[in-house]
Structure 1
Amino acid sequence: MTAPVLETENLVKIYGRGETRFDALKGINLEIGKGESVAVVGKSGSGKSTLMHLLALLDAPTHGVVALEGKPTGDLNAKELNELRNSAFGFVFQQFFLTPNQSVLENVTLPLKIAGVPAGERKRRGMEVLDQLDMADKAENKATDLSGGQKQRVVIARALINEPSVIFADEPTGNLDSATSRVVEDILFGLNRDKGITLVVVTHDLDLAQRCSRQIYLVDGQIVPTPEAATNDVVDRQPRRAAHPAGADDATGTVRITEPTTGEMITLSEADAAELTRAAQEPMRPGKHAAPWATNTPHRPTDQPGATA
């Protein structure tokens, strides 16, 4: 694989606390090389969108490291994160997120406006990318006047306007018919092939995933080796009952324990209590990557105050 543009080390994301706690990601280690096309595949609730949000610096992990071009991003402030996202990443979502009463050109050049680029330069660059996508003749149209396929082309043009190194595509063809989907896919993979833009596609569509050079399969917040595990229609999500720890309530199958890192008393299922206790006793996992920051990043689940599922 080429030099990684994105790396994660022991990436953990936890929402809620106590009885509402949900472990969305459970220690993800991965590298994405420059110019790769990578599909993150999984069913709803598998953690694939959460992983994309962390990779794209749209959210912060509970534990672990996300690095861009070998540099950890955890210490960046909000302004630095916004600038980095705006310059390094482009986004293509299932929902188009276009401003309906603005023109196609205004929608496309929004990232340049945020970056403070003068109006004349915004128009020049906006028309260039629209021309690449055969949408230059629609520049003055309102977004509401476009078909679904045209709207997605506008979204791709907006993703390209800052010449990003990575494009994140979250179910990019989910709202399109099969013929239009193929056209949009061809555009995205053409950009990956011809311009060397790294493409990260989040999808439950195996056909789309197979067009990528590599697939990452997620089940319940963990990477699994085979597509069958990630796409099987029947996934056993029932927790296995553990041996009753001290404090177990036989009537409810729950147990009150002291949360290892906060010291709070919390109520969990017996299986979750056993897992939390085991994780707290687990030594720090050694870093698996060559990067100097990737050594002994903690992987100890803790509740995150204020987070919501």
Structure 2
Amino acid sequence: MGVFFLVYALTLPVAYWSANISLYHDGEEVADGVGTEFTFTASSGTTLKAYRKTYLSASAESSDDDSIVHYPVVYLGGTGVNMYGNIHRVKNFLYPTLTSIDAPIAFDVFTFSYRGFLPNDSFVPNERNIIDDSEALWNYAKSLYPEIVRPLLFAHSLGTGPASALLEKLGGSDEGPACTGLAMPYSSMAQCISELGYYTPMVFLYLIDSWRSTSRVKNMHPDVPLAILSAAHDELIAPHHQTTIFENANAKYKKLLYSPVADHNDLYTPIYRNLDTYLEFMDSCIARAEVS
């Protein structure tokens, strides 16, 4: 018995390292000049690098700067995607609105690399500090705009975990988001890992960050509009996770945008197969972003 516990204790560090690498593996994207790097300070005092890019509507491209209304967007990406990849992927959320709206508007997107992701790879990621860092980015972005403007909150895959935590924490006041879009969210990380492992016994499952998103969206403010993207051929997060999040979310206005042909990284198809619903949701986002 003593030998068993000794082996078990010696295995724990390896198991913890393996779990973290599996959950928080970095992407290989590099800066390409499409955005602007900046820094913000987390609640722990850590300075983190982040990225910003502005996307213009069709009418804004031919308008003078003073007539363009800017809306901040905080985007939390998935694992395997650093901030350089995030800045491209968020356009999947925004492009249909930018091409269809008549008003001269701009979405100013703020995103960052989680700790352990380039160029913030000198820090160790975990659930608590990713949530705290995401909130710090949120506060930074919000501080750059008048108090009459609420930022929009979008997230994909792993990023739907901290986004759900922000929904619970920020509430529906002027501190909270104008709306939230969650692409391929998960009910909990333990459930995801169990399904990917075909429910084989995993002694070290408790070492993986819990990310209990279902319980968090139950506590979101009902006034925050919510859209959930879901893909039938998602090889990482099964569609029933999105249904669970949708059914449990405490939002008066919520939409499930489902595609029977999309996969985990396909954000376009769930939107275009439900384009009218998506545009209606984005109208509610823009309307609520302007605090009366």
Structure (1/2) with the larger helix percentage = 2
Flag the structure with more relative contact order, 1 or 2, with Cα contacts below 8 A and sequence separation at least 6: 1
